[in-house]
Structure 1
């Protein structure tokens, strides 16, 4: 029996990245070739998802620095243009991950949207092969197939969509490669300061550079011939949960099949904030919003504060505890969310149309793809106000095309085997390197 050591590293504080990493690990182990035993080691700087890893009998290596494991904003100080809030923290993370790889001596490193791993594997005593698994095709060619221009590039955000896309596509690629949201200056400067002496680091594409890039999303969103051969679209990495835990009685009351009111499921996930939740709550306190039944999941906002804003409004249930998301989505007419890949794929698996607002670039692209394919509406962040939320919900409720398209995407999600496709691509690459 040949022993193979695989390290998996990602932003393990983030629910979307952690979920993808765990699903990748399960698939790699399940589909390992005969005669090979894969030892899978997760790198953690602190995360509430460690318990999920242990439950699957994978190893955990606690790298320095140790962080609280609360979330991207709390642990990393994430900003609009920097995943890691300071250069000093980026240096600490790089030192810690390089030390971990030198200690573990893996045959390969699998990493998500985590530039620290993409750099550290190339800064060890012996460069380690790397495979990046990501929700988007994170290579420069991505510019050629963008569904819209990220609203973080504010100079474009006020222009009509057709005009901003036209202008953006005329900009030389070397200029686009240097837009602030791609630069990740704290990480790049940290790498140079501790001795990076390889190819120039221009932006996040260079930081995440890998032998193979696996895109865990529907290939329907992209023109596949635009990408190099080391980019593989393996399909949604989505495990249909077999969760039998009881749904809270309050949810069942609000989403009962006997209720004729439209049902809205709001899930603001780990990237939710008080600032973004207030307009959402207000949308259900007047006008057409009073006729909707609503379930709100928000782990980062006081339930008591939320209830005060709702002012005793009947038909709304808010919670900060676990919800069996797929089953609750199935009961809803619309899912309202921030656009994380896992959240969107869960909604599509339930054939539920989507209304969303993005908190960061990946969510923006995800929601723009959803909107471009007629499955939902993306509300620009600068328009995230109660009246715009109401208008988007009304438009989706009144236009049956959204539900019809969601049903088509449900079939695509349920027929795809993204886990096996990803595992097959990983093993093919790994076996070519050892």
Structure 2
């Protein structure tokens, strides 16, 4: 069967949308899946990626996944995560690797001739899609955009947030510096030139696609006027189709239930550190990080209040939990917000801190710095969140604010309007 016959439906050849999230990242992968589900009526949705870590979720959703070369190793993924969290400066995108990625991507684009390429933080596609003159769509949070730095609820990094200088002066200096940074890895600059692709001068603008679909909402960002190539679409987060495990319906009724997850970016050491602090407290802890911990799980003797399990359909847990403790990735934050319960955020990088900060300002969240994780600090924050009527009210108000916004549907409508 030829390529075009595969895409023939009812006598009409469907255009293709190519989804290219970084498939080692759970949030990016599931975000793309949710948008593809809503777009499949109008487009043939094809996925590509360099890691098979979460590719099984794509296949379970009945979409084609093509595993591109060069494959990402666990060491590569670890390096990318460390750079993302500002724990390191060495990344795996050498000239050789980047050249190979762009070659793979160009071949896929030339084969499928998609109407558009939809990405997460898939840096190589910023060159490949443009080299192939294919529209690039980036589904992303508001943080880490020029508009966010100029108009959003910018919080200074803790290293700068001191009392030595007026805070507003520091924010102005920090903003100006952030927007003037021009750093781009040498390999990207060199290959972009080889591909006749012009990269924006500033780093922050180099992370803009042709169209940017913003998963934040203006009520939280505080910004209504976006640039012309930006569109608010609202929450887009994982809606796993697996069933709620039976053990969750038989939990003790005499103590609060806390959902604790750190997504793709939480290290094994951090997860264990938080669990060891929580196991001494009078709460039932649900932690879907069993796969992440791997062999380390067998080396730790947990108390009976800790329930380690595989990935859960977190969006279905609202009636079973009293509080969430999360890392601050926007999809995880939005899932917690839609539960109508307060949450505690432990941000691991600036985008996550920004997402948490928006909810702290709204009143439905508390922040715990990653350097302050301890039994007493967690106990104090959990107690406050569970007992505060104001936080409960704001959590319910947040759920009401978000519940009727269908981010994936809005993204699909955008794709249909632009490319159908």
TM-score normalised by structure 1 residue count = 0.82
Check conservation: 1:329, 1:335, Cα contact below 8 A.
no
Matched residue, 1:385: 374
Q: How far off is 1:248 after superposition?
A: 4.3
Q: 1:115 aligns with which of 105, 111, 123?
A: 123
Change in Cα spacing, 1:101 to 1:328, as seen in structure 2 (3 Å) is same
Correspondence for 1:198: 198
Counterpart in the other structure of 1:35: none
Q: Distance in 2 between matches of 1:352 and 1:83?
A: 39
1:144 alignment partner in structure 2: 150
What are the residue-to-residue correspondences of 1:409-420 with 2, within 5 Å?
409-420=398-409
Check whether the contact 2:155–2:357 (CA below 8 A) recurs between aligned residues: no
How far residue 395 of structure 1 moved from its aligned partner, in angstroms, is: 1.9
**How do 1:5-24 residues align onto structure 2 when only pairs under 5 Å count?**
5-24=16-35
SS of equivalent to 1:224: coil
1:247-396 superposed matches below 5 A: 247-249=245-247, 251-253=248-250, 255-256=251-252, 258-259=253-254, 261-286=255-280, 289=281, 291-298=282-289, 299-301=291-293, 302-307=296-301, 310=302, 313-314=303-304, 316-396=305-385
The answer to whether the aligner puts 1:51 opposite 2:53 as a matched pair is no
Q: Residues 352-399 of structure 1: CA distance to partner in whole angstroms, max 9, x if unpaired?
A: 211011122322221111211111111122323333222221221221
- SS of 1:214's equivalent in the other structure is strand
| 2:238/2:331 contact within 8 Å kept | no
Show the counterpart of 1:236. 235
**Corresponding residue of 1:156:** 160
Shift of 1:165: 5.1
What secondary structure does 2:231 align onto? strand
Following the alignment from structure 2 to structure 1, what is the Cα–Cα distance between the partners of residues 339 and 235?
14
The CA deviation string for residues 248-297 of structure 1, in whole angstroms up to 9 with x for no partner, is 42x444x33x32x22222112222223312432332355xx2x2222223
Partner Cα distance (1:157, 1:374) in 2: 21
Match of 1:93 among 83, 101, 113: 101
Relative distance call for 1:155 and 1:269 in structure 2 (3 A) is closer
* C-alpha distance in structure 1 between counterparts of 2:81 and 2:278, whole Å: 32
Question: 1:18 offset after TM fit, Å?
Answer: 0.1
Give the secondary structure class of the aligned counterpart of 2:160.
Answer: helix
Note if contact 1:247-1:324 (Cα within 8 Å) is conserved in structure 2.
no
Quote how far apart the aligned CAs of 1:140 are.
1.2
What are the ranges of 5 or more consecutive residues in structure 1 without an aligned counterpart? 33-37
Q: Which residue of 1 aligns with 2:6?
A: none
What residue number does 2:8 align with? Answer: none
Superposition deviation, residue 416 in structure 1: 1.1
Q: Please tell me the root mean square deviation across aligned C-alpha atoms, in Å.
A: 3.0
* Structure 2 residues without counterparts, runs of 5 or longer: 1-11
Q: CA deviation at 1:143?
A: 0.4
The alignment partner of 2:379 has SS state of helix
Q: In the superposition, relative to structure 1, how do residues 4 and 357 fare at CA in structure 2: closer, same or farther (>3 Å)?
A: same
Structure 2 length normalisation: TM-score?
Answer: 0.84
Give 1:19 deviation, angstroms.
0.4
Q: Distance in 1 between matches of 2:399 and 2:283?
A: 24
